[in-house]
Amino acid sequence: MIYRALQARQDALAPWRAHAKGMAGWLGPWGVMHPAFDGLRAMRAAADVFAQFAVTQTRPAFGIGPVRVGNRLVEVAEEVVAGTPFASLVRFRTDVQTPLPRVLVVAPMSGHFATLLRGTVQVLLQDHDVYITDWHNARDVPLSAGRFGLDEFIEHVMRFQEAIGPGGHVLAVCQPVVAVLSAVALMAEDRNRASPRSVTLMAGPIDARQNPTKVNALAAGHGIEWFERNLIARVPWRHQGSGRRVYPGALQLSAFMSMNLDRHLKAHQDQFWALFDGDVARAAQHRRFYDEYLAVMDLPAEFFLETVKTVFQDHALARGEMVWRGRRVRPEAIRRTAIMAVEGEKDDICGIGQTMAALDLCRSVPVTMRRYHLQTGVGHYGVFSGRRFAQAIYPRVREMIQANEG
């Protein structure tokens, strides 16, 4: 019933949004040519804002243009180098002849597509050979592909690191930090030749007991049965994954937006006035952000429920009780992989100290190979995107990778 209701709402609004988009296009020239006609400009702005605010389940394109490497601009081409029914390993190939450090970016499977990290990848490409985990929308994965839980997520991280080959590095953004640290620990214990030389953990809940946020409180405030009963639905027959149990991405989006409702309302009010005033640059920036933010993907039910219980309720990794397929995960087995934790001062999703906890868990890593950076003035998304990421955080990440490249 949950999924059908969400789908019915989207279907019902689709023709109205199409009509509003057409109206905005028709009124556009009049708003520009006759700025004195405030009524027309207001109608156009309102129609445009309504048409834009549409949830989709289609993965946007990465669309990463030329990047500056050294003293020249180089083109970027996407290349799928490995894959499963649940994910593709995408490489952003350039024609740079000099070998660059290979970095696997592990994107969160938290309701948005990996394209949310477009800006992160673009910055990393200046100095690295970049790969990313492009998670697939669970509603498009047939039941015959089997289950996908936290164990399978960890396995994907290990297999993709092996696909990159020995001597690589890994960078995890937000939710996957627990899975990535677990994968690195398991590979270290097995003396896997593809164990990364460094791991960077950015704004993720290694120990969600530290400075808990609203997200942590919500996860800890209900039993796992409540989540299964109220948030899990089956994919309708019209999609490839028909019958698969999922946590609908639209529900996840609603939860995130409700936590910062005032901010989102103000953003759309500002967009109205940007369109009304003909501020093309400001309107385009808003549009780019929300085109990405409103593109959602469904999560496999097993993965969502196991993540809530293991990471946010049991705090298994922080307590030394994390298990992968019956085998205990031992972060202390990591000895030769450098580790860096990055947090944001104003992060309202992952509190200060939650990621830093990884440094204590990896007690066998020499102190000189453990680093921490707290970025002042940034919230959750500012840790891995935007101006301060590019100017203040990235140089430290680059330095850490380069220090462990040889």
- In tens, the pLDDT along 370-404 reads 999 999 999 999 999 999 999 999 999 999 999 99
As a whole-number percent, the residues of the chain with pLDDT over 70 amount to 78
The DSSP H or E segment spanning 17 is helix 2-33
Q: Which residue has the tokens 């696997």?
A: 104
Residue 172 near residue 117, CB atoms below 8 Å: no
Give the angle 201-62-305 at the CA atoms, nearest 5°: 50
Q: What is the pLDDT of residue 31?
A: 47
pLDDT tier for residue 294 given thresholds of 50, 70 and 90 = confident
Q: Which of 164, 59, 192 is nearest to 102 (CA)?
A: 164
Top pLDDT among 276 and 341 is at 341
Residue 53 near residue 294, CB atoms below 8 Å: yes
CA distances from 235 to 4, 25, 87, 353 (A): 8, 35, 18, 37
The DSSP H or E segment spanning 91 is strand 87-93
Tokens of 60: 């946007």
Confidence check: pLDDT of 353 > 50: yes
- What are the tens digits of pLDDT across the range 16-56? 555 555 555 555 654 454 555 556 666 666 656 555 666 67
- DSSP code of residue 373: E
**Average pLDDT taken over every residue of the chain:** 87
Measured distance CA(121)–CA(117) in Å, rounded: 6
- What are the tens digits of pLDDT across the range 128-183? 999 999 999 999 999 999 999 999 999 999 999 999 999 999 999 999 999 999 99
pLDDT tier for residue 262 given thresholds of 50, 70 and 90 = confident
- What are the tens digits of pLDDT across the range 48-79? 655 566 667 788 889 898 998 888 899 999 99
Annotated domain spans of the chain: 1-54+249-294, 67-219+299-403
Query: How many C-beta atoms surround the C-beta of residue 126 within 10 A?
Result: 16
- DSSP code of residue 207: S
Tokens of 364: 């066998």
Q: Fold for domain 67-219+299-403?
A: Rossmann fold (3.40.50)
What is the three-class DSSP state of 165?
A: coil
- What are the tens digits of pLDDT across the range 103-118? 999 999 988 899 999 9
| Beta-bridge partner residues of 371 | 340
Residue 310, judged by CB atoms within 10 A of its CB (0-12, 13-18, 19+), counts as buried
